[in-house]
Structure 1
C-alpha cells in the first residue's frame, strides 16, 4: 500500500467538514460537495477540539479519482450512489454513511466501510465537535489495513468491520427514531418511557441479525452522546429528508426475507415517514 498523502472527502456536511479540518494539518485534503464551482473554505471548529482549517472545496462532478490516494464518503445514505458514480474502486473508498442500505452497492463496487463515532453539528462553515470518538474502517475482504497519522479523529482499522456496522445500526435504529419522534436528546432514551421503546426495538433487532450486539453497547452510546441531538431529529427539525430508508426500511425487507413478523419497527418507520412529510 503506497503512503497516503492526498485525501478526498465526499460530502461537505458536518461529518465531512470535521474530517477535512482534522486531516488537514497532516494531509492534502480536498472536500467535494454539491457546489457550482471550486473555492477555498475556512472551517471553524469549536467544542472538544477547536481550531481553524483551510481546505479546497470542489464540485463532486469534477472529481478525478486518480488525484487522491483515498476517499471517504460522508454523505447521507440515499446520496451514496450518486456521490460515488465517478469512482471505480481502484483508489480505496470508505463509505461512512449510516444504516445498511449502502452495503450491497459498496460490496459490488469493491468499496470499503467506515463508521464515524464522533459527535458533530454544523452551522454554515462552523462546526461544533460535540464528542470525541473513533473512525473505524475496514473491508469486506482480507486486505492490508490502511494507517493514518495520529489525530483526534483516531482512525483505526477493524478486522471485522461488518460487526462494527451492525453495532452502529443497532444504535441508530434505537436512538434516532425515538429522539426524532419524541423531540428529545439522546440521554432521554435511557429513561422510561423511552427506554421501554428502546428495549422493544432491541428485541426485534436481535431476531434479524445473527451477529450479537449486547444492549450494554447501546447504553454506552446513549451515555456518551447524552446531550446530543440525533441526526434524524435534526433532519426533521430542518425539514430535510431523513435516513429512515437507510436505517429502518432495510430492516423491514430483512424481516420479510426471514419470515419474521415485526410490530414496533414498522410503526416507527411509518411515523418517521409521516413526520418527514409534515415538515
Structure 2
C-alpha cells in the first residue's frame, strides 16, 4: 500500500474532531459531515491536549473515495450505512462506532474496524479531550498492518481486532445503560447498587461470545473513566437518539441464536428506549 498522506474522517462529532485536530499536524485531513457547504472549521482543543487547528469540512454526500488514502468513520452506529454508501473499500475504511451492529456490515463491505479509547466531549467547535487512550485498529480481512506517525492519538494495529471490539462492547453494554438510567458518572458503577446490576449484565453477556472478557477489564475501564459521563447518558440528557440498537439490541438476537435466556439485558434495553422516547 502507498504511504498514507491524506486522511478522511467521516463524522464531525467529538471523536471526529479530536482525531482531525490531532492528525492534521502530520497529514492532510478532511472532515466529512452533515451540511451542504464546504468550509473550513476551526477546532479548539482543551483538556489533556490543547491547540487550535483549522481543517476543511465537506458534506458527506459529496465524498469521493479518491480524496483520501484511508478513512475513519466516527459517526454514531445508526449513521454508519448512510455515511459509507459512497465507499467501495478499495481505500481502507475503519469503522470506529460503538457496539457490534456494524460487524457483519464491515465484513460484507470489505471494511475494517477501530476502537476509540479517548475521552472527549464537544461544545460546538470546542472539544474537551478529557481522557488519553489509544485508537486501536485492525482488519477482518487481509489488509496488511498500517502505521501512523506518533501522536497523542496512539494509533496502534491489533492482530485480533474482533477481540478488542468485543471487550469494548462489554464495557459499553455494562456502563452505558446503568449510567444513563441512574444519571450518574461511570465511577458509580463500581459501587452498590450499580455494581450488582453490572455484574449481572456481565454474567448474561459472557455466554454470548466465544471471546472471553474478564470482569477485571470492566473494573479497569470504570476506574479509568470514573469522572466521565457515558455517551448514552449524554445522548439522553441532550434528547438525542442513543446507540441502544448498536450496543444492547444485537445482544437479544445473539442470545436467541445461541439458545440463551436473558433477563436483565432486555429490561435495560426497554428502559433505555423508554427513557429516550421521554426526552
Supply the distance in 2 between the matched residues of 1:122 and 1:217 (Cα, whole angstroms). 27
Residue deviations 1:112-153, cap 9 Å, x none?
000000000000000000000000000012431010000000
Partner of 1:102: 102
- Counterpart in 2 of 1:160? 160
**Structure 1 residue ranges without an equivalent (≥5):** none
| CA contact 2:71–2:92 (8 Å) conserved in 1 | yes
Q: Once the two structures are superposed, what CA deviation does each residue of 1:73-106 show, in whole Å capped at 9, x if it has no partner?
A: 0000000000000000000000000000011111
Name 1:17's counterpart in structure 2: 17
Offset, 1:165: 0.2
Q: Does the alignment pair 1:180 with 2:180?
A: yes
Question: Aligned equivalents of 1:67 and 1:125: distance in 2?
Answer: 24
Q: Measure how far apart 1:183 and its partner are.
A: 0.2
Q: Offset at 1:35?
A: 1.2
Q: Is the 8 A contact 2:110 2:141 kept in 1?
A: no
* Alpha-carbon distance in 1 for matches of 2:129, 2:171: 20
1:103-252 maps to which residues of 2 (within 5 A)?
103-252=103-252
SS at match of 1:184: coil
What is residue 51 of structure 1 aligned with on the other side? 51
Corresponding residue SS for 1:235: helix
For 1:61, the equivalent position in structure 2 comes to 61
- SS of alignment partner, residue 172 of structure 1: helix
Number of the residue aligned with 1:255: 255
Q: Distance in 1 between matches of 2:169 and 2:56?
A: 32
The alpha-carbon deviation at position 70 of structure 1 amounts to 0.3
> TM-score scaled to structure 1, two decimals?
0.99
SS, match of residue 147 in structure 1: coil
Is 1:78 equivalent to 2:73 in the alignment? no
Query: How far apart are residue 67 of structure 1 and its match?
Result: 1.0
- C-alpha distance in structure 1 between counterparts of 2:107 and 2:210, whole Å: 19
Q: Report 1:84-95 matches (<5 A).
A: 84-95=84-95
Count of residue correspondences: 279
Which segments of structure 1 move beyond 3 Å, counting only runs of 4 or more? none
The alpha-carbon deviation at position 210 of structure 1 amounts to: 1.2
Cα distance per residue 1:43-88 (max 9 Å; x no partner): 0000011111110000001100011000000000000000000000
TM-score (norm 2): 0.99
